[in-house]
Amino acid sequence: MATTQSPGQPNGQPNGQPSSPAKQRHAARATHVLYLAVIAAVVLGIVVGLAAPGFAVRLEPIGDGFINLIKMMIQPVIFCTIVLGVGSVASATKVGRVGGLALGYFLVMSTVALAIGLVVGNLLDPGSGLNLTSDLAAEGQAKAADGHASTTEFLLGIIPTSLFSALTSGSVLQTLFVALLVGFALQRMGAAGAPVLTVVGHLQKLVFRVLAMIMWAAPVGAFGAIAAVTGQGGVSALASLGVLMIGFYITCLLFVFVVLGALLKVATGVSILGLLKYLGREFLLILATSSSESALPRVIAKLEHAGIDRTTVGVVIPTGYSFNLDGTAIYLTMASLFIADALGDPLSIGEQIGLLLFMMIAAKGAAGVTGSGMAVLAGGLQSHRPDLVDGVGFIVGIDRFMSEARALTNFAGNAVATVLVGHWTGGIDRDRLDRVLAGELPFDESTMVDDGHRTVTTPPSEAASAATGPAQH
């Protein structure tokens, strides 16, 4: 494999002129202050949620507004990233290899997550001793109505109404589908597609600039979101269902640091701690908003900056948000076992495996949406074991707290998956990755675009033709 790197400008400098050290220090201080403000807002939101839960719940629209601001940027970011990544490579073979490896990896890791959830859920047995009231049963039935959808509906939903509606539909998979089609079309156009790639490259810079501006509203959004979560759940919900919630958190931590950490270290030599530290601000956003979607545009930009090529990042991250739901898989297993035990109808091993494999399929496409895990749980139970649906009401009070752990675990799983797939397909500039994780090449928060690093990996036999193909951006 040979790595060709197109000439570009220094990081974040569209005019090709490096910024002065004073400007760089000022930008670094500004973003440092921003995320200290996010931390302070999270702490303040928890205090308000515990002290004045009624008032805190009314702050939920503030958090929702910030999440919606981020979500409106997701589809343009994915479209630009995939079109540039696919349209710039010399052969479609690389895209197929990346996608095939990613899907295979997602299937294996989802199965591992399900198995871990089964083991821990059977060991803890936290559901005994609870009483189901009519109010709780009604809440469970309501969640089932929200979450019931067939596999056929999911697959047909990937196809947008029109080519352009994929950019406004709110569906990550629709955007991924159309962006791949456009990228392959530009690839087939050869040199004639270069001007279009140039336009998309400038559009990406604009999109990331807008996103950087939106991030200054993060402290306000974090305060509103975490205050509402704390006010809705309260201490009583945490106390009564603490065993399930703590067990779920511990299981997620073990999965990330033991399973994913060991796999990442053995396969690539990269430390899970170094990778998670680099993505620390994204984890903070997810913790504050309970939604992994809030960090999706930023993780695309940061993994590109870390030396992983656009094709790998553009295919693995959006696909992983729908197909690599490790945290959701653990949640579905543990919550199902909890509900069955609480209703006095424990599941046999055969029933557990059948039910949870069914819900693993039902979970596809549920990532990123706050509370979607519970909807999938209720919908899966409605289709497979309707006698257990009422028990979903047991965990309504703590679902938002568990939603944070689901989102954090899903996010960590997708970040690790991108590094692994990039390593296996030769799509990583390893020297740059090591320097970025060591803090030697900081991410430019003001532009979120690295103009100087555009790496495309091609076989030696294709290097000459790649040089005369579409320009890399």
Looking at residue 236, what is its pLDDT?
55
Q: Closest Cα partner for 278 from 389, 152, 440?
A: 440
What is d(CA 351, CA 373) in angstroms, rounded to the nearest whole number?
20
Where do the domains of the chain lie? Answer: 21-466
Looking at residue 455, what is its pLDDT?
42
What is d(CA 178, CA 314) in angstroms, rounded to the nearest whole number?
13
What is d(CA 29, CA 27) in angstroms, rounded to the nearest whole number?
5
Region at 269 (left for phi over 0; alpha for psi -120 to 50; beta for the rest) = left
Q: Return per-residue pLDDT of the chain as tens, 473 residues.
A: 334 343 333 344 433 344 455 555 555 566 677 778 888 888 888 888 888 888 888 888 888 888 888 888 888 888 888 888 777 766 667 778 888 898 899 888 888 888 888 888 788 766 555 555 455 555 555 555 555 555 566 677 788 888 888 787 777 778 888 888 888 888 888 888 888 888 988 888 898 888 888 888 888 888 888 888 777 655 555 555 677 778 888 899 999 999 999 999 999 999 999 999 999 888 888 887 777 778 888 898 899 999 998 888 888 888 888 788 888 888 888 888 888 877 777 777 887 777 777 766 655 545 444 456 677 777 777 777 777 777 777 777 667 777 888 889 989 999 999 999 999 988 899 999 999 998 888 887 766 665 544 444 443 334 334 333 433 33
- Amino acid 285 reads L
CATH 1.10.3860.10 fits 21-466, yes or no: yes
Strands 455-458 and 2-5: antiparallel
Q: How far is CA 470 from CA 184, 188, 310, in A?
A: 12, 10, 15
Instruction: Enter the pTM of the model.
Output: 0.75
Q: How far is CA 61 from CA 67, 150, 398, in A?
A: 10, 31, 20
Residue 282: both structure tokens together? 């994204």
Which 3-state string (H, E, C) describes the chain? CEEEECCCCCCCCCCCCCCCHHHHHHHHHHHHHHHHHHHHHHHHHHHHHHHCHHHHHCCHHHHHHHHHHHHHHHHHHHHHHHHHHHHHCCCHHHHHHHHHHHHHHHHHHHHHHHHHHHHHHHHHCCCCCCCCCHHHHHHHHHHHHHHCCCHHHHHHCCCCCCCCHHHCCCCHHHHHHHHHHHHHHHHHHHHHHHHHHHHHHHHHHHHHHHHHHHHHHHHHHHHHHHHHHHHHHHHHHHHHCHHHHHHHHHHHHHHHHHHHHHHHHHHHCCCHHHHHHHCHHHHHHHHHHCCHHHHHHHHHHHHHHCCECHHHHHHHHHHHHHHCCHHHHHHHHHHHHHHHHHCCCCCCHHHHHHHHHHHHHHCCCCCCCCCHHHHHHHHHHHHHCHHHHHHHHHHHHHHHHHHHHHHHHHHHHHHHHHHHHHHHCCCECHHHHHHHHCCCCCCCCCCCCCCCCCEEEECHHHHHHHHCCCCCC
CB atoms within 10 A of CB 8: 15
What is d(CA 74, CA 86) in angstroms, rounded to the nearest whole number?
18
Looking at residue 93, what is its pLDDT?
73
Give the distance, in angstroms, between the CA of residue 153 and the centroid of all CA atoms in the same chain. Answer: 22
Looking at residue 238, what is its pLDDT?
56
What is d(CA 20, CA 156) in angstroms, rounded to the nearest whole number?
51
Looking at residue 459, what is its pLDDT?
39
